[in-house]
Amino acid sequence: MGISLRKRVLVTGGAGFLGSHLCRRLLDAGHDVLCVDNFFTGSKDNILELLDNPHFELIRHDVTFPLYVEVDQIYNLACPASPIHYQFDPVQTTKTSVHGAINMLGLAKRVKATILQASTSEVYGDPEIHPQTEEYWGRVNPIGIRACYDEGKRCAETLFFDYYRQHGLPIKVARIFNTYGPRMHPNDGRVVSNFIMQALRGEPITLFGDGNQTRSFCYVDDLIEGLIRLMETPKEVTGPINLGNPVEFTIRELAERVIELTSSSSKLVYQPLPQDDPKQRQPNIDLAEKTLGWKPTIQLNDGLEKTIAYFSKF
């Protein structure tokens, strides 16, 4: 690749599940990648084989403190994303979303970089409309146990759009729906990793509520493709844009698929639904299809097989 096409790309949260996949894709595309992580939920194991790549650099850093580097693009992925992890230290979770956004936006403004925010479907809360479109403002409990993550990400979106309006900063906001795949944390408490680990160990598979609440599961390779396409759009495309798989499954259906694919003897057990847990979550991706020419291509069974193969090593 010619020197003029090689970009210097910063990925915050780069040692996490999504970040480690994104770092690989960017290196494969011929860019210099600066991975920043404080290793609260990220793991050096996720990026171990990248450390010898001369175009990859790792910095241990917490985005709640300013960072002074020279880059062309910033993917801001830093934030614990599963309820177990973001509720462990809720004040720090909010600080990571809000102070982290302020610091990364300040960096982008100084170096004139395009910056992408990894926002979340959690900004929609427990939605009254289905499926969720980008125009929907959401239904979030601002004082509930999930608010540190939901409201932190909502405030980050506010900051991104204010920097865009006030400073003309080129921004991109992606609202990421449930994503799964290799390098998920095995103990992150999310349904895909939970179910696979329980099935592989022959333990009862825990369903909260009646198992009829729905989720839409996007395989990580599809999601990363969407993020990269969004980053490469013209300046006037800011988002927010939903990125996720519009095919909806009940939690019980997911559990049954996992049992089948692992040939497990696990049985289903039911527990009460956690506070503010959304009943339905499904993206409308019309905007992503029209603007990015993007839609997921990997079927749930194929993605689950790859993910099960990864978790089988634990």
Count of positions (residues) in the chain: 314
pLDDT of 181 over the 80 cut: yes
Domain count, the chain: 1
- Rg of the chain over Cα atoms, rounded to whole angstroms, equals 19
pLDDT (mean) for 120-144: 94
How many percent of the chain have pLDDT more than 70? 98
pLDDT of residue 4: 58
When the pLDDT of each residue in the chain is averaged and rounded to a whole number, the result is 94
224 in a structural domain: yes
268 vs 87, residue with greater confidence: 268
Residue 212 CA, distance from chain mean position? 24
- Output the 3-class SS for 279-299: CCCCECCHHHHHHHCCCCCCC
pLDDT of 128 over the 80 cut: yes
Rounded CA-CA distance 314/310 in Å is 8
Per-residue model confidence as pLDDT tens digits over 80-112: 887 777 788 899 999 999 999 999 999 999 999
Could you list the residue range(s) of the whole structural domain that residue 109 is in? 7-179+220-244+283-297
First to last CA, the chain: 38
Per-residue model confidence as pLDDT tens digits over 203-223: 999 998 889 988 899 999 999
pLDDT of 276 over the 70 cut: no
pLDDT of 269 over the 50 cut: yes
pLDDT of residue 1: 45
pLDDT (mean) for 247-252: 93
DSSP of 77-118:
--S--SHHHHTTSHHHHHHHHHHHHHHHHHHHHHHT-EEEEE
Q: Which residue has the tokens 């809360």?
A: 125
Per-residue model confidence as pLDDT tens digits over 108-125: 999 999 999 999 999 999
- Diameter over CA atoms, the chain: 58
Q: What share of the chain is helix, strand, coil (3-state, %, to 5)?
A: 40, 20, 40
pTM (2 decimals)?
A: 0.94
pLDDT confidence bin for 2, thresholds 50/70/90: very low
Are 133 and 140 contacting, i.e. CB atoms less than 8 angstroms apart? no
Rounded CA-CA distance 16/5 in Å is 26
pLDDT of residue 135: 97
The CATH number assigned to the domain holding 158 equals 3.40.50.720
48 in a structural domain: yes
State how far the alpha carbon of 126 is from the alpha carbons of 85, 93, 149, 229, 281, in Å.
20, 20, 14, 28, 8
pLDDT confidence bin for 190, thresholds 50/70/90: confident
288 in a structural domain: yes
Lowest pLDDT segment from 85-89, 239-243, 249-253 = 85-89
91 in a structural domain: yes
147 in a structural domain: yes
pLDDT of 71 over the 50 cut: yes
Q: Which residues are catalytic?
A: 149
35: three-class secondary structure by DSSP: strand
Among candidate residues 173, 188, 136, the one with its CA nearest the CA of residue 16: 188
249 in a structural domain: no
140 in a structural domain: yes
